[in-house]
Amino acid sequence: MDWGQSLRLIAPEELLSISGLVLLLVAAWAGDKAARAISIASVAVLAACAFLVAPALCSGAMGPETSAFFGQYRADAFASFAKLLIYAAAGAALIVAPAFFDRVKAMRSEYPILILFAALGMGMMVSATDLITLYIGLELNSLAAYVLAAFLRSDERSAEAGLKYFVLGALASGILLFGMSLTYGFTGTTSFSGINHALDAGRSSGALFGIVFMLAGLAFKISAVPFHMWTPDVYEGAPTPVTMFFASAPKVAALALTMRVTLVAFAGQAAAWQQIVIFAALASIVVGALGAIGQKNIKRLLAYSSINNVGFVLIGLAAATPQGAAAMLVYLAIYVAMTVGGFVAVLMLKDADGVPVEDIADLAGLSRHRKVLAACLAMIMFSLAGIPPLFGFWGKFVVFQAAVQAGLVPLAAIGIAASVIGAFYYLKVVKIMYFDEPVNKVVGRSDLAHQALLALSALFISPLGYLLTKPLGELAEAAAIALFHFA
Amino acid sequence: MNGFPILTAMLLVPLIGAFACLFAEAKTARMIALVATLIDFALGILLWANYDIGGAQWQFAENLPLFAGFNWALGIDGIALMLIMLSVFLMPICIGASWNSIQTRVGEYMAAFLLMETLMIGVFTAQDLFLFYIFFEAGLIPMYLIIGIWGGADRIYASYKFFLYTLLGSVLMLIAMLWMVNETGTTDIPTLMGYDFTPEAQQWLWLAFFASFAVKMPMWPVHTWLPDAHVQAPTAGSVILAGVLLKMGGYGFIRFSLPMFPEASAQFAWLIFALSMIAVVYTSLVALVQQDMKKLIAYSSVAHMGIVTVGLFAFNVQGLEGTMIVMLSHGLVAGALFLGVGVIYDRLHTREIDRYGGLAINMPQYALFFMVFTMASVGLPGTSGFVGEFLSLAGIYQVSSWVTLVCTTGIILGAAYMLYLYARVFFGGQKNADAAAMRDLDPREWAMMASLAAVVLWMGVYPESFLAPMRSDIAALDARLARARPMGDARLKPGEPRKIEAAADEGAH
């Protein structure tokens, strides 16, 4: 283990931090005029980072040679898989932003830089194999995210979202830190594999408290029930491109982090955390579904939908097997595509003056005058509901398959039965778009970048996506094996 | 068929047609839909002509390992062949039925129907468990849109009810499938059909599959989505719903529940019998008091499906053969009856029985056709209904005389409500001037009715054409079920052979 190798392993993080700092200077010097150019440069940086991390995934990198800085950080196939999703979601958040912010003259050059720093933090989260790295990554991401939520400074809702996110996020970080300190105190180490070894030797009730508090803190970050309350408010208040970002990249990062914490640091304690995860999974599915039914704002609806989806991902975690981890990664990949597609479709809903339409009732009869947009949104809704032949079904399929393989048949049966509740509100959106008389509110023209992104994600979640099941499954499997190969 | 993937072709033709319809004008969309369904019908005939009766059990097999965890595996046996023929035969008729009555969003309508056809054929041809599930579930989307967009007044309630009911039934089946695949390590349906699960596991699996198929079938008490969905669906939607979608439940029982879980099937036969007996009697009585023609026929469908389920769980060849013929016959007859209601609905825009009367006077041709289908629904000898009901009841008689007795009342009640309907609509005075002014069938309607009537009579007079392809498959299923076959309640004992002495005496004379 030498410094040179460590520095090589964190190449994507280095690239992100250096280019983030350079672009920050450019922004300070050139001002908001350069916002668009900086956005383009940021997308290029993210693409370059994706190229840097891809080889580790394709070769299924794992083991000690992927470990950097004396076990603090790991650049294995699992981290690469998560990072690719994070970079893709961050890139999408950059691409959709200008068209949204330009209307209110709020496209400032800090936006792409904050996204880059958030991506850097998320990259550290998914690579963390030590409590300290975990916390630094988490906070780096969170601080950028708080600012992003309040990015529309003059908009009350946005400011409120930022404040709520900050206060509750700080609380959750506190809980997490408390759990980490307990864990450290009772195991004597901050390294994940060290914690695992120490706990294998015997678990005190103090360490159990540490596990519970850490899981509670992480549950806030992934917005799992019962720590989900902030989600609808923040998602509704934050500017839509930022909401799209929140619903996709940080979710992936926080879930990947949760996987590493539970399946590596607490690998031997599955019996202790499994019941917590099972409760959070079922509660998220049910609360996410029931909460969405009464919603009138489409962003709030999608917020509840994301809570619901986290519940399904956690079913894969409850399995505590490599199959479960692989299933979670497949689910997350499909979830990111559906989320990006869903929010891009929301961004395209504009009235004649270009003002965003967020009221679900205003979508009435959308299928008459915006055929393609309505069809894409309907596809995304059916896909989120998990109706075959759309690709969203495959995500649910693999997590339930993993649960059944792990012998959790009752959990799978209850979870899938609860998914029918969720189908109701997704259907409601389709009903409003297709069955109701048109109100002709959504008539605004949409941006070319939005159309392209929507087309891309719609293609991915269409039945053609099933042709990707083999490569996607193989990559996720390689990543899951790397995750479990932590000795 | 020397390597030509005819089943994939049959799936692709309507799918491509569906995409073409989405972007076409109303007139072109109708033509595209008609041509696509006719091509599929022609392919279906080719399929039947090339089907080797008595040959391999699974023919036209295709297998491409396209996906992770499951395969693009297609193949048919005689049972699937007949149901595919029913689907491809009814589809052009559905398109014809919607020719003039659908005037809004024609392209989308035709696309939804063609998509529906792809998915129905997919259900009957899938040889992979998960591929089957995908086709089975996917049918919800087009049907939801068909009921919701082009349905009647209460369409939204009906579409939700249809979707959520059937979805809840199916997802439990998915968990059971996942368990089965985990247990056996294969997704291949023919292999699973020969796999012996432990009797305890079978119980759970059977119940999970039952949850799905009972809703699709539909059996009492989960049948309530059907009358709502039927009444609100456009004519062609009802035809497809009654004609093919309901058959998916029966197909599911015959393809999955019976061969995969024979012991559990025998164990739960009492449940099926009880629910079916209630369905036959109760829904027939409900049908008797309906004021809405479509609702009446919808309830009669539930009653007929009751006969199907008892026949299935008779565990003998007559019962199974009868079930298949009832399903085919009901597909044609109920489809034709809905079509008949559609014909007068297009003219008067009401389905209320009281608004008609004396139609035999001004619409004699229509009255004649409707008579044929009424009789077939009642089960008059010479029509398809008789063959199926007789065989099923003969099958079930070997198991339980009481069940037979109760289910036979269904035929009597069936005669009551159908003839009562016929009398009110066609006979008597022409009490409504607007109904009396309706013109008789036009050539388009005549062609649709005549083709249906011809097949109904063919199946009634010479059912062998339809039974022959299925015979070996039903025999195989019967052999598989033999070990779990219940004792008949008649407890038939062979009598004492006659004494030899009598013959000896005769010789002495």
CA A39 to mean position of chain CA atoms: 21
Gap between the Cα atoms of B491 and A412, Å rounded: 44
Predicted local confidence at residue A269, as pLDDT: 86
Q: What residues have CB less than 8 Å from B429, skipping those under 6 apart?
A: B357, B358
How does pLDDT run along chain A (487 residues), one tens digit per residue?
A: 578 888 888 999 999 999 999 999 999 998 888 888 999 999 999 999 999 999 988 888 888 888 888 888 989 999 999 999 999 999 999 999 988 888 888 888 899 999 999 999 999 999 999 999 999 999 999 999 999 999 988 889 899 999 999 999 999 999 999 999 999 999 999 999 899 999 988 888 888 999 999 999 999 999 998 899 899 999 999 999 999 999 999 999 999 999 999 999 898 888 889 999 999 999 999 999 999 988 899 999 999 999 999 999 999 999 999 999 999 999 999 999 999 999 999 999 888 888 888 888 888 888 888 888 999 999 999 999 989 889 999 999 999 999 999 999 999 999 998 888 888 889 999 999 988 888 888 887 788 889 999 999 999 999 898 999 999 999 999 999 999 887 5
Predicted local confidence at residue A261, as pLDDT: 92
Predicted local confidence at residue A452, as pLDDT: 92
* Closest residue by Cα to residue A54 from A12, A5, A6: A12
From B134, B163, B172, residue closest to A388, measured CB to CB: B134
Closest-CA residue of chain A to B211: A417
How does pLDDT run along chain B (509 residues), one tens digit per residue?
A: 457 888 899 999 999 999 898 888 888 888 999 999 999 999 999 999 988 888 888 888 888 888 888 888 998 988 999 999 999 999 999 888 888 888 888 888 889 889 999 999 999 999 999 999 999 999 888 888 888 888 777 788 888 888 888 898 888 899 999 999 998 988 888 888 888 888 888 999 999 999 889 888 888 888 888 888 888 888 888 888 888 888 888 999 999 989 999 999 988 988 999 999 999 999 999 999 988 888 899 899 889 999 999 998 888 888 999 999 999 999 999 999 999 998 888 888 888 888 888 888 888 899 999 999 999 998 889 899 899 999 999 999 888 888 899 989 888 999 999 999 999 888 888 888 887 888 888 888 899 999 999 999 999 999 999 999 998 899 988 888 888 887 777 776 778 887 766 555 555 55
3-state class percentages of chain B: helix first, strand second, coil last, to nearest 5: 75, 5, 20
**Two tokens at A23?**
């672009």
Tokens 């990949």 locate to A333
Predicted local confidence at residue B234, as pLDDT: 84
Query: By the 8 A CB rule, do B135 and B122 touch?
Result: yes
Predicted local confidence at residue A212, as pLDDT: 93
Judging contacts by C-beta atoms under 8 Å, the chain A residues touching residue B160 are: 424, 427, 431
* B455-492 per-position pLDDT tens digit: 999 999 999 999 999 988 999 888 888 888 877 777 76
From B108, B137, B179, residue closest to A388, measured CB to CB: B137
Question: What Rg do the C-alpha atoms of chain B give, in angstroms?
Answer: 23
Please report, as a single letter, which amino acid is at residue B228. Answer: D
Judging contacts by C-beta atoms under 8 Å, the chain B residues touching residue A400 are: 174-175, 178
Which stretches of chain B sit within 8 Å of chain A by CB? 66-69, 105, 108, 130, 133-135, 137-138, 140-141, 144-145, 148-149, 155-156, 159-160, 163-164, 167-168, 171-172, 174-175, 178-179, 181-182
Q: What residues have CB less than 8 Å from A430, skipping those under 6 apart?
A: A378, A381, A382, B144, B145
**Two tokens at B116?**
């529906």
pTM to 2 decimal places: 0.92
Name which of B174, B177, B225 to mutate to probe chain A: the one with the most chain A Cβ atoms within 10 A of its Cβ. Answer: B174
Query: By the 8 A CB rule, do A243 and A235 touch?
Result: yes
Query: By the 8 A CB rule, do B293 and B421 touch?
Result: yes
Q: What is the distance in angstroms between the Cα of B49 and the nearest Cα belonging to chain A?
A: 31
Contact B67 A466 (CB under 8 A): yes
Is the dihedral angle over the CA atoms B177, B179, B184, B187 positive or is it negative?
A: positive
Q: What is the distance in angstroms between the Cα of B348 and the nearest Cα belonging to chain A?
A: 24
Closest-CA residue of chain B to A385: B167
Query: By the 8 A CB rule, do A476 and A323 touch?
Result: no
Contact A387 B182 (CB under 8 A): no
Gap between the Cα atoms of A461 and A345, Å rounded: 14
Closest-CA residue of chain A to B119: A389
Gap between the Cα atoms of B228 and B230, Å rounded: 5
Q: Is some CB atom of chain B closer than 8 A to the CB atom of A293?
A: no
Q: What is the distance in angstroms between the Cα of B48 and the nearest Cα belonging to chain A?
A: 28
Judging contacts by C-beta atoms under 8 Å, the chain B residues touching residue A420 are: 164, 167-168, 171
Gap between the Cα atoms of A161 and A234, Å rounded: 5
Q: Rounded to 5 degrees, what are φ and ψ at A40?
A: -65, -45
Please report, as a single letter, which amino acid is at residue A136. Answer: I
* Closest residue by Cα to residue A453 from A373, A389, A398: A373
Q: Is some CB atom of chain B closer than 8 A to the CB atom of A472?
A: yes
Please report, for residues B241, B345, B347, the alpha-carbon distance to residue B234 in angstroms, rounded to integers and kept in the order given: 10, 10, 14
Query: By the 8 A CB rule, do B48 and B212 touch?
Result: no
Q: ipTM value of the model?
A: 0.91
* Closest residue by Cα to residue B189 from B264, B119, B117, B136: B136
* Closest residue by Cα to residue B267 from B222, B195, B210: B210
**Residue A130: DSSP 8-state:** B
Element (H, E) at B61: strand B59-64
Closest-CA residue of chain B to A368: B105
Gap between the Cα atoms of A314 and B244, Å rounded: 38
Q: Is some CB atom of chain B closer than 8 A to the CB atom of A480?
A: no
Burial of B440 (0-12, 13-18, 19+ CB in 10 A): middle
DSSP 3-state assignment of A423? helix
Q: What is the distance in angstroms between the Cα of B150 and the nearest Cα belonging to chain A?
A: 9
Closest-CA residue of chain B to A365: B149
Q: What is the distance in angstroms between the Cα of B197 and the nearest Cα belonging to chain A?
A: 17
Is the dihedral angle over the CA atoms A423, A428, A429, A433 positive or is it negative?
A: positive
Contact A435 B69 (CB under 8 A): no
Beta A67-68 vs B72-76: how paired, if at all? Answer: unpaired
Q: What is the distance in angstroms between the Cα of A470 and the nearest Cα belonging to chain B?
A: 5
